[in-house]
């Protein structure tokens, strides 16, 4: 991305490090927005075995999510390799290089009541390290009451939370006993104890957040517009393969050949010195 270093200012890096999330306005041109729109439509027409269609009631819209389809969707490949995303992630993480981990499509139809439960991403993955982030890029206008909500500074709590199933909002069940992981403090978050970051957004905007920042989202309050989002996951130079006491999501074999190795992931961007 031409001029990306000027887009990612020292103040934005500070905010990312302290708050665990920043909004970037207008960093994706209409070309990238339209390309991702086509890629999401491709995914909706050819979902994978991991896809979910979630509904609260018969009258509401569907919350569709699916991941790890980028190798068969050329629009996503183009976005991953050539859009500003990787460079934005690398400059915010202050990393020498950036690897692509996986993509996640999140489509809430008009009136979809199903919420995205409070969670953080990293405990789903077999990935340790601190230079890890997600880019949440909507391709539709997103109102304040339907947008991503993030618990400010939660990535610095020093706590790891059990992943939660989107369908039931229940914790993953551990294969082995572990003191490391606890349940997300949902009642504390919803009581107003913590400062919540949230932004109304337009196509071309994105939110970049640390993989341990706790976040969630309400349903889609619009009766007429979809809330289509492409989330992409990015790893920096201190990331390493780890293990979790449950089956990872996405499953390892959806991303890696065995044994898992970061060398299998594509390096998308390197810092120019």
Cα separation values, 146 from 129, 142, 188, 243, Å: 30, 6, 21, 33
Let me know if residue 102 belongs to a domain. Answer: yes
CA–CA separation, 170 vs 191, rounded Å?
Answer: 19
- Report yes or no on 272 lying in a domain: no
Task: Give the rounded percent of residues in the chain with a pLDDT score beyond 70.
Answer: 98
User: Tokens 């949902």 map to which residue?
Assistant: 186
Residue 178 has pLDDT above 80, yes or no: no
Q: Please check whether residue 9 lies inside any domain of the structure.
A: yes
Q: How many domains does the chain have?
A: 1
Task: Summarize the confidence of residues 29-54 as an average pLDDT.
Answer: 98
Strand-pairing partners, residue 217, are: 116, 148
Predicted local confidence at residue 272, as pLDDT = 85
Q: Is residue 273 part of a domain?
A: no
Q: What is the largest CA-CA distance in the chain?
A: 56
DSSP letters, 32-80, are HHHHHHHHHHHHHHS--TT-EEE-SSTTSPPEEEEES-GGG-HHHHHHH
Q: Is residue 270 part of a domain?
A: no
**Structural domain contains residue 174:** yes
More confident residue, 178 or 95: 95
Band of pLDDT at residue 1, cut at 50, 70 and 90: very low
What's the chain's average pLDDT?
95
Q: How far is CA 26 from CA 23, 31, 174, 209, in A?
A: 10, 12, 41, 17
Q: What is the pLDDT of residue 58?
A: 85
**Secondary-structure breakdown of the chain: helix, strand, coil percentages, each rounded to the nearest 5:** 25, 30, 45
What pLDDT is recorded for position 273?
72
Report the CATH number at residue 199.
Answer: 2.60.120.620
Please give the residue range of the domain that contains residue 154: 4-264
- Which three-class secondary structure state does DSSP give residue 90? helix
Q: Establish if 236 belongs to a structural domain.
A: yes
* Upstream peptide bond of 250 is cis (omega within 30 degrees of 0): yes
Q: Is residue 59 part of a domain?
A: yes
Pairing of β 116-119 and β 132-138: unpaired
């Amino acid at each position: 991305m031409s001029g990306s270093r000027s887009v990612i200012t020292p103040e934005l890096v500070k905010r990312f490090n302290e708050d665990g999330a920043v909004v970037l306005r207008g960093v994706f041109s209409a070309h990238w927005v339209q390309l991702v729109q086509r890629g999401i439509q491709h995914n909706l027409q050819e979902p994978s075995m991991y896809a979910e269609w979630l509904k609260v009631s018969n009258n509401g819209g569907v919350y569709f999510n699916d991941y790890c389809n980028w190798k068969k969707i050329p629009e996503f490949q183009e976005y991953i390799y050539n859009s500003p995303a990787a460079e934005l992630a690398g400059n915010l993480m202050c990393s020498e290089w950036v690897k692509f981990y996986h993509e996640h499509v999140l489509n809430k139809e008009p009136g979809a009541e199903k919420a995205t439960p409070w969670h953080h991403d990293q405990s789903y993955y077999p990935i340790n390290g601190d230079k890890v982030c997600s880019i949440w890029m909507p391709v539709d206008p997103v109102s304040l009451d339907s947008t991503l909500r993030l618990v400010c500074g939660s990535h610095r709590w020093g706590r790891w939370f059990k992943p939660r199933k989107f369908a039931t909002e229940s914790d993953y069940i551990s294969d082995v006993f572990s003191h490391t992981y606890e349940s997300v403090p949902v009642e504390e978050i919803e009581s107003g104890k913590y400062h919540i970051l949230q932004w109304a957004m337009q196509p071309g905007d994105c939110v970049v957040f640390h993989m341990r920042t706790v976040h969630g989202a309400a349903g889609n309050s619009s009766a007429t517009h979809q809330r289509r989002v492409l989330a992409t996951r990015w790893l920096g130079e201190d990331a390493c393969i780890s293990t979790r006491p449950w089956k990872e999501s996405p499953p390892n074999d959806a991303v890696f050949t065995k044994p898992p190795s970061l060398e299998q992931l594509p390096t998308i961007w390197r810092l120019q010195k």
